[in-house]
A and B are shown apart, each in its own frame.
Chain A
């Protein structure tokens, strides 16, 4: 069935044994253990007792990030040393593609929750359709609209009047952030966020064109602009959160509208932060290290795919969280 090939074959570099995985595990485990302890201290702990949860978390996180740094440095050096065959490079391409696919599925869970709540749970709680019996039994007087400005709990007269097990106080916001409640389109922050993020995708593409032309100046310039736009987006988002908490009464506690709003935009914001950091590192590699050529710039390419992905997610957020 088989025979050894005689044709020249570019060797697939299998790295020698490495400490990276063990270090990454140690850092990761310490940081999640610390994070879980911090949250338990917060919710179940005795405020008078001091714990070392934060130290565990921060040590772990530092160690983890340092390992990731070392890991990527190793991978970059292997490539610069010419160890990476075309086939190996393709493994990285596949790895990045499927990683982004997994991120898509993560967001899908939260979008799924949003659609389910808006299309089924809300109307049922308000007495419509097949799930409607709950209204008469538990949530009399609740009317559903989206954004949900009044929670079922408020509709029955607050947590104390709630007929069944009480698991928290949920008071709807005074004002929502959707387009319908904006004073004027130009004063509506999400619109500007959209403009910023969409143009950053465009500038990212210009940077890509730059490196493909071998024009490093163009590459650096547009990449820097992209990173700045990313930062601007994050600042605007932080400002919006501040407004939401201080002026609109929209918080994590304001019922399912607040929950879905902050989880969707929050995870998206976190991904923007990650993408921006990735792009910033590529910028530093180019500016300080003179790395990347017209034919070999996967670090940048992978980061740019991530960036475009984050952008597409925003488009859906803009539609389903802010406009519709």
Chain B
């Protein structure tokens, strides 16, 4: 078959027509970074408006479009695709496979994304403006009161779901079917495990999200009454269906991050991961529990007391396997020969900040307390601790960790560390004060606020600008590395790194493991 044995094709056709998992991984990663910048610029608009009390820059309708698009672009465009990019690059190399199981479909999963986000971004210029109902698009805001662009939003979600489902089926098939001889399930690196479970979650809940937006579509255009009490339906039904997707979705975001951290910490502690098996079981239990806790997002909606109690206790249970993980990471470092290169710094930053996010999650899980916290900035602080300091920090750790392996060049360590410290300070400055304003009663998703929140909001905005700016440094560092970084040729770029990917030449050749290795 023609060009199979040669290297990559030349020019644009390499990227458009590729079936190579590394090319596809690279495209996913660059695309997600572009979305990170786009979603980040929406966030900058939000923080600029909130810099001072009063209406400064944008009108409230546009502000709502910004919060909505910021959330959607970050969740579906930045975080999820970035981890799919890592999965593409790494899973075949980690399990000793020649490529992903279904390479053409893999390319399709990726190429659906750019035009879809183009459509989503173009809603900003449509009559009535972009969707302005929040990333959780509750009915009837998103049905009866939605701008016409909602139809394009709905179809975008359908198509994104298709892409995620195909991507996940591919990952499941790869992990189940393509492991090298001897690579038993319980020998797989934790990153592969977490992705296998994540892919299962995706296949299970993306169709439910498709169902939710389909009901919206029918209510808007064809006169059904799923979310309308006048016809015997219920707007709260929307919330149930959405969060049945939405809660597993947050674990879809964090589980691959757990996987990355579980690779990075042992490498820089020069010790095997503590409690490998318990990590696997903890991941699986988190995935299972994530299906039965969704209504903790709906404590204030008027559920029967039995429901409140059930969802409260079930949610608190998740802290147990999550605690097991944190314990294992810390114990892995215990008495290790630690060094603090950039990936390790980000991993430790993750560990501390994610734990804070987990604790605020526990506070929110207490139903009676949540009546106070719900829809306040406390919730915003909570989920940015888990999604930014959780998912995005671990992504940064992963990029610094594997980039030298991918391109055979070392990044600038001093610049990497600077990136970490600026991110760390900027992030905490941006989001820690939000706990306080939230507890004091500042609601989320508003363009103006009471005077007593002014100082904390100004700090928040400054922190957000700092965090945003530090990503430019990151971008510069990555490009400089690829173009002119110091060459490395050791197979093990990091002396403590373990796993099949580190047995390959550096930089990783275009095709790897065409004959499978034997894993003992």
Contacts and interface: CB of A to CB of B under 8 A. Distances in A.
- Do A and B truly interact? yes
B125 interface: no
A91 B173 contact: yes
A252 B223 contact: yes
Interface stretch (B38-46, B204-212, B313-321, B476-484): B204-212
14 contacts: A2-B518, A3-B518, A4-B518, A15-B19, A17-B14, A21-B107, A21-B108, A21-B110, A22-B16, A42-B221, A91-B102, A105-B205, A121-B236, A256-B233
A137 to B, nearest CB: 11
A136 interface: no
Nearest to B222: A252
Contacts of A263: 214-215, 218, 224
A168 B2 contact: no
A14 B234 contact: no
A151 to B, nearest CB: 5
A14 B103 contact: yes
Interface in B117-169: 119, 140, 143-144, 148, 151-152, 154-155, 158-159, 162, 165, 168-169
Interface string B194-228: 00000000011111101110110110111111101
B230 A32 contact: no
Contacts of B158: 32
Interface string B87-114: 0000000001111011111011011100
Interface string B333-346: 00000000000000
Category for how many chain B residues contact A: 35 or more
Interface string A162-202: 10011110100000000000000000000000000000000
Contacts of B112: 25, 28-29
A36 B4 CA distance: 40
A302 interface: no
Counting from the closest, the 3 A-B pairs by CB-CB distance are A109-B211, A170-B231, A256-B232
Contacts of B514: 11
Interface in A222-262: 251-259, 262
A152 B102 contact: no
Given A16-B19, A130-B304, A5 B517 contact: yes
Interface string B477-520: 00000000000000000000000100100000001001111111
B500 A109 contact: no
A256 B215 CA distance: 11
Contacts of A310: none
A112 to B, nearest CB: 7
Q: How many A residues are at the interface, by size bracket?
A: 35 or more
A15 B97 CA distance: 14
A147 to B, nearest CB: 10
Interface string A1-40: 1111100010111111111111011001100110110011
Contacts of B101: 88, 91, 94-95
Contacts of B516: 5, 9
Contacts of B143: 167
A213 interface: no
A29 B119 contact: yes
A4 B223 CA distance: 63
Given A2-B520, A18-B17, A25-B112, A259 B224 contact: yes
A44 interface: yes
A1 B520 contact: yes
B176 A4 contact: no
Contacts of A95: 101-102, 105, 169-170, 173
Interface of B: 1-4, 9, 13-14, 16-20, 96-99, 101-105, 107-108, 110-112, 115-116, 119, 140, 143-144, 148, 151-152, 154-155, 158-159, 162, 165, 168-170, 172-174, 176-178, 181, 203-208, 210-212, 214-215, 217-218, 220-226, 228-234, 236-237, 240-241, 244, 302-305, 500, 503, 511, 514-520
Identify whether the interface residues of B are mostly helix, strand, loop, or mixed: helix
Given A18-B107, A22-B17, A102-B206, 7 more contacts: A12-B99, A39-B220, A105-B204, A109-B210, A117-B232, A167-B140, A252-B222
Contacts of B503: 1-2
A18 B24 CA distance: 13
A214 interface: no
B231 A259 contact: yes
Contact of A256 (B9, B165, B226): B226
B4 A16 contact: yes
A103 interface: yes
Residue of B165, B168, B520 with highest tally of chain A CB at under 10 A: B165
A6 B148 CA distance: 62
Contacts of A165: 140, 144
A171 to B, nearest CB: 9
A42 to B, nearest CB: 6
A14 B98 contact: yes
Nearest to A167: B144
Given A35-B155, A98-B172, A14 B19 contact: yes
A17 B174 CA distance: 19
A162 B144 CA distance: 15
Contacts, number: 267
Nearest to B1: A16
A168 B207 contact: no
A265 B185 CA distance: 41
Contacts of A44: 148
Contacts of B231: 151-153, 168, 170, 253-256, 259
A3 B119 CA distance: 49
B253 to A, nearest CB: 19
A39 B111 CA distance: 25
A106 interface: yes
Given A102-B165, A121-B233, A170-B230, A16 B144 contact: no
A159 interface: yes
Contacts of B111: 21-22, 25
Nearest to A81: B1
Contact of A139 (B221, B229, B302): B229
A42 B220 CA distance: 11
Nearest to B302: A131
Contacts of B168: 98
B230 A94 contact: no
Contacts of A108: 207-208, 211
B230 A151 contact: yes
A116 interface: yes
Nearest to A101: B203
A129 interface: yes
Contacts of A43: 148, 220-221
A17 B18 contact: yes
A46 to B, nearest CB: 11
B10 to A, nearest CB: 11
B144 A102 contact: no
Contacts of B515: 4-5, 9, 11
B230 A167 contact: yes
Nearest to B305: A130
A99 interface: yes
Given A22-B17, A112-B244, A152 B177 contact: no
B18 A153 contact: no
Contact of B98 (A12, A152, A255): A12
A278 interface: no
B212 A109 contact: yes
Nearest to B208: A109
A22 B220 CA distance: 31
A109 B241 contact: yes
